[in-house]
Amino acid sequence: MEPRFRETAFIKGVAQVEQLPPDDGIEIAFAGRSNAGKSSALNALCGRKALARVGRTPGRTQEINLFALPPDAAWRLVDLPGYGYAKVSAGQRQHWDRLLGDYLQSRECLAGLVLIMDIRRPLTELDRQLLEWVPLERCQLHCLLTKADKLSRQAADKQLHATQRELEGLGIEATLQTFSSLKNQGVDDLRGLLTEWLQPVED
Ligand SMILES: Nc1nc2c(ncn2[C@@H]2O[C@H](COP(=O)(O)OP(=O)(O)OP(=O)(O)O)[C@@H](O)[C@H]2O)c(=O)[nH]1
Ligand SMILES: [Mg+2]
């Protein structure tokens, strides 16, 4: 079955894992540092201008936002709260850490995680911390190096390969691509990969 990304529709935002819909079907989650370009990437993926909010006050996406992805009623896209925004209280940060950690570690319908990183600053300390929470034995990982339009093609490729080597060094199996929401670059590749992730696993 082919997902119809353009028909993606907001379901709800939750501030606690207890408020999540039942843990069944297939979820694909998007994570990344605040301001990395996560909302923009989601909008580009879905071919929509304002599905997810872009560039308001950074760090404002405090909830887990869930979206339905037709035609399968069991498919959901999940926008996770951005991390690493400096101007929040310790309590708030702790809340986000717990929300993010709990979601990643307990959510059994999570089939894949798209980690969105600014191509000029991939794999920051906080990205590495997040990667420790990802249950890689049952959840696929794809790294989206976005804002690629900020670099020359050559510099972007160089960053891609350096990041790939770094992940290998960490013993993390992942796919990677360059991306630009601004130029709509890499959108078809991303759609193709997610379409594969959504197919039921045969065993
Ligand atoms: N040049 C360029 N700018 C981008 C790209 N993607 C996002 N931006 C800009 O980067 C800023 C942050 O983008 P968002 O999509 O809001 O980032 P976010 O990761 O969702 O941020 P939070 O929700 O605050 O965590 C905005 O000013 C965007 O316009 C891109 O591919 N290229
Ligand atoms: Mg956002």
Q: What CA–CA distance (Å, rounded) separates 140 from 34?
A: 22
Ligand with smallest separation from the Cα of 178: 1
Residue ranges lining ligand 1, Cβ < 6 Å: 32, 34-40, 54-55, 58-61, 82, 146-147, 149-150, 180-182
Residues in the 5 Å CB sphere of ion ligand 2: 38-39, 61
Q: What CA–CA distance (Å, rounded) separates 143 from 32?
A: 10
Instruction: Give the model's pLDDT for residue 203.
Output: 63
User: In terms of CATH, what superfamily is 5-198?
Assistant: P-loop containing nucleotide triphosphate hydrolases (3.40.50.300)
pTM: 0.94
Query: For the chain, how long is the longest CA-to-CA vector?
Result: 47
- Using CA positions, which residue lies closest to atom 5 of ligand 1? 147
- Using CA positions, which residue lies closest to atom 26 of ligand 1? 55
In a structure prediction context, what are the per-residue pLDDT tens digits for the chain, which is 203 residues long?
A: 899 999 999 999 998 999 999 999 999 999 999 899 999 999 999 998 888 776 555 555 578 999 999 999 999 999 998 888 777 788 888 888 889 999 999 999 999 999 999 999 999 999 999 999 999 999 999 999 999 999 999 999 999 999 999 999 999 999 999 999 999 999 999 999 999 999 977 66
Show the beta-strand stretches assigned E in 37-74: 64-68
Domains of the chain, by residue range, sit at 5-198
Question: b vs e for 63-95, b when ≥16 Cβ sit within 10 Å of the residue's Cβ?
Answer: bbbbbbbeebeebbbbbbbbbbbeebeeeeeeb
Ligand with smallest separation from the Cα of 83: 1
How many CA within 13 A on the CB side of residue 163? Answer: 28
